[in-house]
Amino acid sequence: MGQVQRWLGIDFSGDARQWGAGVARERARVWIAEISEVEGALRLTDLRTVQELDGVDGTGQPAPPFERLVQRLARPDYRAAGIDAPFSVPARVLPSGSHRSLLALVDGLPCDGRPFPAGRSLLPAVAPELGDQGRQLYRETEIQWKARGLNVRSTTWAGARPGAPFTAACLCLLQRAGRPIWPFQAADHSALLVEAFPAAQLVQWGRPAEGYNGDDERAYQARVDLLEMLHGGLQMRDFHMEVMVASADALDAVLCAFGAMAVTENKLAVEPTLVADAEGWIAVRR
C-alpha cells in the first residue's frame, strides 16, 4: 500500500456558544473532515464535530472543545488544514503592516471566560478609528470573490452579520496551534494552515453557493445534489453521506479540505497577489 496523505477541512464559528462541550451533534456548527489519499484515490476518512475530538487538559480531564481543536492541529500528521474563517485583516489596518504583529496583538486580548476574544474587542485594538461596530472594509481576496457574486463578511465589521467574531476566533486558533500558515509561509511545509471558503469553492465549480443550508426540502435536495457531484471524485461511506445530507456545516467542512489540497498540490484557482503577504489569501481548488 502506498503512503497515505491527509488533508483536514474545518467549518468554523465565531460564536462562543458553538464551542461548548454540551453542544449536541444535530446542532453542531463546527465540524472537522479528514480526506486521505492512498494510491491516487481520495477518500473521506473522518467527519466529526469539534466536541467529538479527543483531547485532555493538564489534569487529564477532557479539554474544552476549542483546546481539542488546537491540539488536533498541533499534531503534524496531515499536509494541510483548510479553515473556513479569515486569516487576516485589510492591509490598511494591519498592525505594523505585519501578520505576525496581528497574531501577537490578538494573543494579548482578554477572553473574559470565552475560548477566544470577542469580535468587538478585536476592532478597538486593530482599528479604533473605525468605531465600536467598525466599517465594512475588505481584503483583496474578498473583493475578488465579491465581484463573482458572493456575499462576503467583512473582517472589520461587528454589526449585523459580522465578520469580526470569526476573525478574532480564527486568529486566536492560528496563534495557539503554532503551525505554519499559508501564504505567510511556503506551501511545502507540513501541517500547513490554509484559509478556505466553501462558497467560493462551489462558485469555482459552477455550483450555487447558497440554498443548501436549511431544514426545508429544497435545501435538503441541494445537499443531495452537491454530494452526487463530490461522489465522482471522493469515496465516501454511507454514514458520512447521511451526516452531510443532514448538516450543511458538515458538508462545508469537506469542501474546506479541497482548499487545503489546492495549496499543497499547486492547483489554486486564483493565485495570490503581492498583498497576500499581509492580508492572506482564500485558497480555492480549480
Low-confidence ranges of the chain (pLDDT < 70): 1-2
3-state SS, residue 282: strand
Q: In what side-by-side order are the strands of the sheet with 41-49?
A: 41-49, 31-38, 5-11, 80-83, 192-195
Residue 67 CA to residue 221 CA, distance in Å, equals: 35
Cell reading at 99: 501578520
Task: Encode pLDDT of 196-213 as tens digits.
Answer: 999 999 999 999 999 999
Cell reading at 152: 462576503
Nearest-Å Rg of the Cα atoms of the chain is 18
Residue 256 CA to residue 194 CA, distance in Å, equals: 9
Is the sign of the CA dihedral 74, 2, 252, 85 positive or negative?
Answer: positive
Q: What is the DSSP letter of 213?
A: S
Q: Where are the domains of the chain?
A: 5-279
What pLDDT does 2 receive? 55
What pLDDT does 84 receive? 98
